[in-house]
Amino acid sequence: MEILNYTKEHEQFRNRVHDFMNKEVIPSVEQWEKERIMPKSAWKRLGEEGFLCTTISPEYGGPGHDFIHAYIVADELVKTHHFGMGPSTHSDIVVPYLNTFASEKLKQKYLPGCVSGDIITAIVISEPGAGSDVASISATMEDDGNELVLNGSKTFITNGINCGLAVVAFRDPAVDNPYKGISICLVEEGTPGFEKGKKLDKLGMYSQDTSELFFTDCRIPKENLIGTRGAGFQMLMQKLQQERLMVSIFSVGAAEYLLKRTIKFYKENSGKGKSVPNSQSNQFSLVEMTTDLTLGRTFLEKLLAEHMEENDVVTETSMAKFWTAEMVNRVVNGCLDIYGNLGMLEKDPVSRYFRDMRIMPIFAGTNEIMRQIIAKRMEL
């Protein structure tokens, strides 16, 4: 029995996405990994095919699909021999802030470009001294007539180099309570005082550009504020449920992709006179990883169904985020063990996923923060 209400249209959509990834993404991945960035032309192609911002209303140029379509795109992206989370970060983590909280004027101005791929977005929260603890951000936003003056630095920003529009969290230095002093605003690329720093050289996720961003007396119109002033912390908490679901989607998708390849490799290369021992230990390892994957996929799809019903599943998504992030790393390690020395070679995706998936327990709030959230909601 299916947990999600898959239709024939969903299956057709998945086939289109899968074919596109095979024809236009996978052949380019090696070049993107070398250049440490996914080119803007690839974003445009995703937009042309209708694979960006799939839930945005036709009123703003989007297809108006349900969230299963976003799930399908993310699930297929992570199976393209590279991490590939940048487009889903844009579509399903950043753009929802605009779609939910921005004024009608800002929606009309920016959403069509987000759908087409002409505008790439970034969510800008993390700072050198504030990561998972959002309330500790120090970048400031102050009034000056009809403008807001922004100062501060941000780091580890996904899509930081490519972004044409940044959704940025700042604090009001006049407000002592950090939970009531954070606001979110939009800053366009090219705004005086807004500068992109160097592209960060990371352990993995090579083709996903990550950078520092700097704001020095950066002036924006007050109309670029989204949502209610001072309500930024609550807005961020509201959207983190979907962000953590996206991390779980990528974790489960990567585990499924790599495990499928490893099982095929094992069947073809195990036995007498072959490179992999046909041992009970290897068999049990594959069985355990398959069980982990099945549990993860089932839990994830249950939460996706509840999320689409707009239910509060903060506790459960926190569970899913930390469990699937740890699960995919168990699977990657197990697959690498079965590949042996061959798994250390760059020619096979197993080594790349070994690097790329290490970030999952850290993304979108560390797994320690997830456990704290759950403990608090359990009133422990």
**Which active-site residues does the annotation give?**
243
CA-nearest of 63, 89, 249 to 163 is 89
> 176-188: buried (b, 16+ CB within 10 Å) or exposed (e) per residue?
eebeebbbbbbbe
Instruction: Report the alpha-carbon distance of residue 28 to residue 30 in Å, rounded.
Output: 6
Residue 36 corresponds to which tokens in the numbers above?
């440490």
Residue 137 corresponds to which tokens in the numbers above?
């951000």
Across 314-377, where does the E strand assignment appear? Answer: none
Instruction: Report the alpha-carbon distance of residue 177 to residue 324 in Å, rounded.
Output: 34
Q: Are 286 and 342 in contact (CB under 8 A)?
A: no
Instruction: Report the alpha-carbon distance of residue 21 to residue 42 in Å, rounded.
Output: 11
Instruction: Report the alpha-carbon distance of residue 277 to residue 362 in Å, rounded.
Output: 35
Q: Are 212 and 163 in contact (CB under 8 A)?
A: no
